[in-house]
């Protein structure tokens, strides 16, 4: 993933969440962290919006250990205003190949 461009992350995210609705949770948290905490987004606004809408539509079906960090209100607002699981920063670094 070293040197990965934003549209590459967009494609990777969309491929992952098409395979498993449960992967929307880590992608949402990692993308939120990159945007809000590092001011260096990994997803385009369009893909982030799509991710949130997919989560809202499938909220009751999603099963993930970190789902409790996200609320439906956050998804409806298209933002994240919470705390992050401790492993999110490391996941973002791994995704970026650092």
What's the pLDDT at 5?
A: 57
Q: Residue 29 and residue 45: Cα distance in Å, rounded?
A: 14
Structure-model confidence comparison of residues 7 and 65, the more confident one: 65
Handedness of CA 20, 23, 25, 29 (dihedral sign): negative
pLDDT tens-place string over residues 32-79? 999 999 999 999 999 999 999 999 999 999 999 999 999 999 999 999
What's the pLDDT at 89?
A: 96
Other C-beta atoms within 10 Å of 14: how many? 16
What's the pLDDT at 98?
A: 76
Report the Cα–Cα distance between both ends of the chain, in Å, rounded: 9
This prediction's pTM: 0.91
Q: At what angle do helices 45-57 and 24-32 cross, to 10 degrees?
A: 140
What's the pLDDT at 1?
A: 39
What's the pLDDT at 3?
A: 44
What's the pLDDT at 33?
A: 98
Q: How confident is the model at residue 2 (pLDDT cuts 50, 70, 90)?
A: very low
- Three-state DSSP at 88 gives helix
């Amino acid at each position: 993933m070293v040197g990965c461009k934003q549209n590459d992350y967009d494609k990777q995210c969309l491929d992952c969440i098409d395979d498993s609705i449960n992967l929307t949770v880590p992608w949402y948290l990692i993308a939120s962290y990159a945007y809000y905490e590092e001011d260096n987004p990994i997803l385009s606004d369009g893909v982030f919006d799509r991710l949130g809408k997919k989560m809202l539509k499938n909220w009751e079906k999603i099963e993930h250990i970190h789902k409790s960090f996200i609320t439906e209100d956050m998804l409806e607002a298209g933002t994240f205003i919470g705390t992050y699981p401790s492993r999110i920063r490391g996941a973002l670094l791994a995704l970026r190949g650092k």
